[in-house]
Amino acid sequence: MGKINLLSQETIDKIAAGEVVERPASVAKELIENSIDAGATAISVEIRGGGIEYLRITDNGSGIDKDQIQVAFLRHSTSKISTADDLDKVRSLGFRGEALSSISAVSKVELITKTKDSLLGASYIIEGAKEVSLTDIGAPNGTTFIVRQLFYNTPARKKFLKSESTEGSYVFDVVEHLALSHPEISFKFLLNGKEKLMTSGNGVLSDTIYQIYGRQIASNVLDLEYEDEKVRIYGFIGQSVIARGNRAFEHFFVNNRYIKSNSLSRACEEGYYGFLMGHQYPFFVINIAFDEGAVDVNVHPTKQEVRFEDEPYVCELLTKAINKRLRKREDVLEAHVEEQVEKPAPMTIAEHSISKEPEVSTDDEVIPPPKPVAKPKLPEPFERDRLEKIRQSITAQIHADTPYEKKFEEKNRGGEKYEQISFLDKEAVKEHKIIGQVFDTYWIVEYDKNMYIIDQHAAHEKVLFEKTMARLKNNEMTSQMVSPPVIISLSTQDILLFENYREAFERLGYRVESFGGNELAINGVPGNLLNLDPKTFFLEVLADCQSYKASDSFDMIVEKVASMSCKAAVKGNNKLSIPEIKTLIDDLLKLENPYHCPHGRPTMISFSEYELGKKFKRII
């Protein structure tokens, strides 16, 4: 063993900084959380050079007393807790007392702060954990942190950072998460001098979602609310039309703290079973509120992981709450004649003000879109009266009816108040006008100024799936006897595999006996297989069993029911009569989720009269 050395305080600080400060986004997160804990109602974030060269956080919170500033930069100094017992009831976002010490150890920090009871503010400069100056200064109430040249004294750490644009996007992600978890706070984000985000801070989460993600996302979310004596779950979940190919739009918060949790993600995705296609992931912003002691936030240096007292219970609630909410909503995919890929870049206040849609024309008259308004001059962070006006302006803009929607409804419905009945509601079905079938695959139905196109295979597949699942649930699966029996020769491995899943096969409706050696005799097949080849389908089901564990038998049954339904359903290129179409629509009407097939594909889409008018240039 080599000589044991006592490390210097400078070295200790740099090592500790490695646990808290990974990149500019880590710095932004710690400082913004401090602003939130300080009671700020407006927070401004500005970065240059990806936040590596310059990062400024300004808030209008309570500020720091001058005689407390130097203490605040010491390791393990915090105003959030005083004893270990306080960890069980932490409600603040920060509490470890390591952030300021770690940040100042690897960068050049300037702090400007003032409390409301002080006549003057204070300026404090600390570089590489070494104090430079502490002076009085004129300043508004609140705190401003300016962090320059991150990792200037630890070049080995700096070389592992990514490009400026990538690091900047990570900072923006932090601001997004904190804005979503605190809609009551106004957030402003500037990138290289250009404003990229401004939230109103009016406390309405749906407005914050609109301001961050835009109209298409905000208009396709459903409110989620569940509460019992242990937990409250609330927020918004997206409909299938805004699903994505990755989990980037999955946002979890526990007591308003952004966290990452694979188990919670899986629980939410299970709630979407039957509503999304494979390899698609939902949009959601979900906050889970616990009482004191039900969650441990002190399990990870970055505080992005937590430990639940009863995680299986929370996961089960999430799955059930989401699935129940989705089943309450009509989810017909609305098709657009001119689809555009939505860019992830956020809309600014100026863009909200000028993004008016063109108005609807009469048959011959074209009404041009309104001229763009001038970009408003943005208020300073602490001019409360002007900030409140801008908040109200944004909120009014979000909730106002767009001109073309309002005119279109008045023109086609005589200006009367109108509440659309669900397409598959019993009363709505009476008003359906079945136009016919195209390509021997799709049905066209007219209802309430909309043209619905129904995929006959997906619709029939869904009906068969739900009927079979209902019979499984009620132990009413029937078997169709086969005479003579179908004899199948299998390998020893396949025989063992079948024995592991024999109960599942029997629940599906198979009746199988040993025929000697490695041969099985199929005496009965599921009653709803119709004319499918029993041997071929049996072998397909058995082959898929290899990817399951014995504990997954019910999941296997569900997937096999979906497969059975797909194979037994009427295919495309099959001519159906009007009575047959009506019968299938009636069967769809009885389902809880008639809008997606068992694989998550839509069973129907719709075109509005407005969209068709736009396509034929009757509406500009």
The radius of gyration of the chain's CA atoms, rounded to the nearest angstrom, is: 30
**Maximum average pLDDT range among 192-206, 526-540, 553-567, 580-594:** 192-206
Higher pLDDT, 334 or 602: 602
Name the strands in the sheet holding 121-127, side by side, starting at the edge strand that comes first in the sequence: 130-137, 121-127, 108-114, 142-148, 54-59, 42-48, 186-191, 194-198
> What is the model's pTM?
0.61
pLDDT in tens, 121-165: 999 999 998 999 999 999 999 999 999 999 999 888 888 899 898
* Crossing angle for the helix pair 205-213 and 164-181, to the nearest 10 degrees: 160
**Model confidence at 345: pLDDT above 60:** no
**Model confidence at 26: pLDDT above 70:** yes
pLDDT in tens, 237-285: 998 888 887 888 899 998 888 888 888 888 898 888 878 877 788 999 9
Q: What is the mean pLDDT of residues 207-232?
A: 89
- Structure token digits, residue 158: 């700096």
CA-based diameter of the chain, in Å?
98
- All residues at 6 or more sequence positions from 132 whose CB lies less than 8 Å from its CB, including other chains: 125, 126
**Model confidence at 520: pLDDT above 50:** yes
The whole-angstrom separation of Cα 100 and Cα 30 is: 8
**Model confidence at 4: pLDDT above 80:** no
Q: How many CB atoms lie within 10 A of CB 31?
A: 27
**What b/e readout covers 86-121, taking b as 16+ CB neighbours within 10 angstroms?**
eeeebebbbbbbbbbbbbbbbbbbbbbbbbeebeeb
- All residues at 6 or more sequence positions from 87 whose CB lies less than 8 Å from its CB, including other chains: 81, 95, 296, 297, 298
The DSSP-derived string for 413-425 is HTT----PPPTTS
Q: What is the mean pLDDT of residues 518-545?
A: 77
- Structure token digits, residue 12: 């200790």
Domain annotation for the chain: domains and CATH numbers: 9-198 (3.30.565.10), 205-334 (3.30.230.10), 349-413 (no CATH), 423-620 (3.30.1540.20)
**Maximum average pLDDT range among 72-81, 85-94, 95-104, 597-606:** 597-606
Residue 478 · residue 509 · CB < 8 Å = yes
Q: How many CB atoms lie within 10 A of CB 292?
A: 10
**Model confidence at 341: pLDDT above 60:** no
Helix (H) or strand (E) holding 443, with range, is strand 442-447
Residue 594: cis peptide before it, omega within 30 degrees of 0: no
Q: Residue 284 forms beta bridges with which residues?
A: 237, 250
- Structure token digits, residue 306: 């937590």
pLDDT in tens, 554-576: 666 666 666 666 666 666 667 77
**Model confidence at 443: pLDDT above 50:** yes
Helix (H) or strand (E) holding 69, with range, is helix 69-72
**Burial level of 72, CB count in 10 A (0-12/13-18/19+)?**
buried
Residue 288 · residue 254 · CB < 8 Å = yes
| 3-state SS, residue 125 | strand
Residue 456 · residue 612 · CB < 8 Å = no
